[in-house]
Chains A and B, each alone.
Chain A
């Protein structure tokens, strides 16, 4: 294809463009299609002091444990099949970072406002709840119409950079999801000044819709800065239909995360090397479990 922009980068090149102190969005949802290879690259870097925007899962847990988060904006942090993320829980209980705790729909409105370059979007959610008490920066807005309703004005969530993981992408950054749920990855990319897409496979543009409907094309290249091919790059979260969540490994992660000594051993075994070393270590671990 002549003239097609080639935005391919390695995970380390992507992380090399991130700076300490940035507001960083991470796509996916809980323990579902998280850009874990990029998170692991982030852990290998010295980027820190982050304001993290995420429907949180192990991405938040790992970065919290490593002390990289100054401020977290989230509606929850969960491993789905394991309701509580142990690192997140421990970090909260030791007061490790500032938290902006929003309702799930408030968070969606914030992303939408960010993508649309609006200062805020109104929502009913939040009224009467302690979300307003613990976030004294949140304001209400009064409808100028006859109803005169007073609603919460969710401020835009704008980010310096976003990281998302797709099933497929082309080299220009057109991203495709093939599972049942897009989550909010397109909004993350559009609400960020720069956005990086990791994917299971980089393919030719023509191959993307050879066997899939065009509405699977979630992310458009105009909102993407860089693309990385990271096979099993969402592991241990799910990346349906390429693979489901690695439940046994997630369980081992959660067990280790609940105990500092066990966590040191886990980190040494799985997170001390590069991405290739990670996957080899996971493979070996699985063989031992049989």
Chain B
């Protein structure tokens, strides 16, 4: 018996599944999730289809167990202070899922500021590690509220490098540039198109193509038939609800 009596997955749980898929068969690399849903997803992936993933405690330790999000780890399997973390990024054995205040059609991302950089309307985080991440290791994005404010025609400050910007910067920029997927509360997107423009891959159940189109500030590539994001298995639902996120933190990040 488990407490998993409710069989219907919630929107947040589809988001978890869609984010976890980013790390499927990733092998022995570091999963760096930013945000709650990606954190739940990375742990789910490690407990199911990607057991060799490395995880951190969010600070300087590699953890050898898979505690619930927000809970303390009991096993340390390595040391990853910031300077070693940055070296690992540049070595490429990492797949990060970052947030985005803005993202455009070719995957340029902004977390730095809104408006003119010289004197921003809204100062945000600064570029942080987005430039080094995007040029060196696989990168995906998680956007909990899909809207035209986030999915914009042009970002105000390129923090994470998109396909057009990398191509313009030359071979040293494109050599390890690898944008994998964008997951929002509405669906899954990638860049598997001839000109590397963003494409709709799947819709979370209950979401329509029109809804996505209205919430996106640029023209998405739309396949003729858009599949639904896959269903979680019963075991995945049990792991999400009872093991990785028993207090339901995922629901605070995603609108029902």
Contacts and interface: CB of A to CB of B under 8 A. Distances in A.
Contacts of A105: 86, 89-90, 129, 131-132
Residue among A93, A128, A134 with max Cβ neighbours from chain B (10 Å): A128
Nearest to B115: A93
A92 B117 CA distance: 9
Interface residues of B, number: 48
Contact of A108 (B83, B119, B169): B83
Contacts of A150: 170, 172
Interface in B41-65: 59-61
Interface of B: 59-61, 79, 81-83, 86, 89-90, 112-113, 117-132, 134-136, 157-162, 165-166, 168-173, 175-177
A134 B125 contact: no
Nearest to A130: B158
Given A77-B126, A84-B123, 18 more contacts: A74-B126, A84-B124, A93-B119, A93-B122, A105-B86, A106-B132, A123-B132, A124-B135, A124-B172, A127-B172, A128-B134, A128-B161, A129-B131, A134-B117, A151-B172, A181-B60, A181-B82, A182-B83
9 contacts: A75-B128, A92-B113, A104-B128, A104-B129, A105-B86, A128-B131, A128-B165, A128-B173, A129-B161
Contacts of B124: 84
Contacts of B132: 103-106, 123-125
B158 A184 contact: no
Contacts of B118: 95, 134
B83 A78 contact: no
Nearest to B81: A181
Given A101-B126, A124-B173, A125-B136, A131 B131 contact: yes
B125 A180 contact: no
A123 B117 CA distance: 23
A26 B79 CA distance: 24
A266 interface: no
Nearest to A180: B60
Contact of B125 (A78, A108, A126, A182): A78
A75 B126 contact: yes
Contacts of B131: 103, 105-106, 125-129, 131
- 4 tightest CB-CB pairs across the interface, nearest first? A125-B132, A128-B169, A180-B60, A76-B126
Contacts of A93: 119-123
Contact of A130 (B123, B129, B159, B175): B159
B96 to A, nearest CB: 12
Contacts of A76: 125-128
A89 interface: yes
A149 interface: yes
A29 interface: yes
Given A88-B123, A149-B171, A129 B165 contact: yes
A248 interface: no
Residue among A74, A101, A127 with max Cβ neighbours from chain B (10 Å): A127
A131 B127 contact: yes
Interface string A86-110: 0011001111000001111110100
B86 A84 contact: no
Nearest to A108: B86
A185 to B, nearest CB: 11
A92 B114 CA distance: 11
Contacts of B112: 101, 130
